[in-house]
Amino acid sequence: MTADLRDRNIIVTGGNSGIGRVACLDFARRGATVSLLCRDSARGKEALKWIRGHGVSGSIILYVADLSSLADTARIARVLAKDNPRIDVLCNNAGGANARRKLTAEGFETTLATNHLSGFLLTQMLIPGLQAAAAANGSARVVFTSSLGHRNSPLDFEDLNLNTGYSTLRAYGRSKLMNLLTARELYRRHGSAGIIASSFHPGAVRTPIWGKGGILAGLLGLVMYPFMRPVEKGAETLIWLASSDESAAREAQGKYFVDCRQADVAAFASDAAGAQLWQLSDQLVAPYREPQPAAQAPQDEATPA
Ligand SMILES: NC(=O)c1ccc[n+]([C@@H]2O[C@H](COP(=O)([O-])OP(=O)(O)OC[C@H]3O[C@@H](n4cnc5c(N)ncnc54)[C@H](OP(=O)(O)O)[C@@H]3O)[C@@H](O)[C@H]2O)c1
């Protein structure tokens, strides 16, 4: 991809590492203004240094938020929305796997919160900026980093939090299915306004993710390491979906891609599941999305009106 991105505003979550970091480098090299979102300020600064060390022409701005927290996601979404009245591309790329089932302080299973609900909330809160870009340029794009792991198991809408039957692969696979379904449903809802959503599987990629999901994921990573692709190859489809020419982007239409080609999805990745997931996710994130009313001063009945 060689297109000039000088007039593009691009947001990448999980931009400090792996696939996201390579994508940030590519966008910044081609002149885009890149908002790099990560959870750890020191790791974010290291990534900035690495990217700038490659000689980039665009500007890169660091944003720090823990995407396992919906309150923190909503906080950073407000900052991003204020700083970026026009958003050309949002890459919902951050993600991970968790060895054990752990609830966040907000009561969500951590993989569900980090890999799905936060990206869902961020996207909803950045819709006005995406719409502004679409009105100005004809389209805006939202790309979700999904996975072949989406085939692992269908969603159980009675138990999104995996109260029963938790396994690392099940939690991860379902979250990646949610990414794919969200992309499709987002396009169904906002495609006519020029917001083109898509999702993709990057392949099995040599990134630090394999070392972050506990011993089993680490061992699996070690066994698969020789067969994995380099991170630059893993980032190709993300970069293509985010920055290919307009007509190619229009083809994306909520679809799922592997190696820059549309790919088949699991039979249970149905439109009905996508619609139901959207509705449920919308309810779950609503308390964080809407500004909380300021605490009322206690009413003192004795105070004269
Ligand atoms: N590598 C593969 O084989 C593969 C295959 C299929 C799909 N994927 C998907 O590709 C995406 C990128 O992963 P990667 O392989 O490039 O691995 P990675 O290098 O570990 O990148 C994951 C990124 O997500 C960030 N992240 C995780 N939890 C977060 C949180 N609570 N708040 C904010 N940021 C958080 C990580 O931050 P830290 O650096 O602080 O951990 C990191 O920047 C993920 O969505 C993953 O599911 C990867």
The verdict on the CB of residue 207 being under 6 Å from ligand 1 is yes
Q: Which pTM was predicted? A: 0.94
Which amino acid is it at 248?
Answer: A
- Give nearest CA residue, ligand 1 atom 6: 147
- Express each pLDDT in 218-268 by its tens digit: 888 888 888 999 999 999 999 999 999 866 677 889 999 999 999 999 999
The verdict on the CB of residue 44 being under 6 Å from ligand 1 is no
SS (H, E, C) the chain: CCCCCCCCEEEEECCCCHHHHHHHHHHHHCCCEEEEEECCHHHHHHHHHHHHCCCCCCCEEEEECCCCCHHHHHHHHHHHHHHCCCCCEEEECCCCCCCCCCECCCCCEHHHHHHHHHHHHHHHHHHHHHHHHHHHHCCEEEEEECCHHHHCCCCCCCCCCCCCCCCHHHHHHHHHHHHHHHHHHHHHHHHHHCEEEEEEECCCECCHHHHCCCHHHHHHHHHHHHHCECHHHHCHHHHHHHHCCHHHHHHHCCCEEECCEECCCCCCCCHHHHHHHHHHHHHHHHHHHCCCCCCCCCCCCCCCC
The verdict on the CB of residue 199 being under 6 Å from ligand 1 is no
- Report how far ligand 1's centroid is from the alpha carbon of 94 (Å): 5
Query: One of 63, 166, 172, 225 is an active-site residue; which one?
Result: 172
- Express each pLDDT in 125-144 by its tens digit: 999 999 999 999 999 999 99
pLDDT at site 295 = 54
Please state the atom number of ligand 1 nearest to the C-alpha of residue 113. Answer: 31
Please state the atom number of ligand 1 nearest to the C-alpha of residue 69. Answer: 31
Would you call 172 a catalytic residue per the annotation?
yes
The verdict on the CB of residue 208 being under 6 Å from ligand 1 is yes
- Express each pLDDT in 50-107 by its tens digit: 999 998 887 999 999 999 999 999 999 999 999 999 999 999 999 999 999 999 999 9
Domain topology for 9-289: Rossmann fold (3.40.50)
Please state the atom number of ligand 1 nearest to the C-alpha of residue 146. Answer: 7
Domain locations in the chain as residue ranges: 9-289
Please state the atom number of ligand 1 nearest to the C-alpha of residue 39. Answer: 33
The verdict on the CB of residue 145 being under 6 Å from ligand 1 is yes
- Give nearest CA residue, ligand 1 atom 28: 95
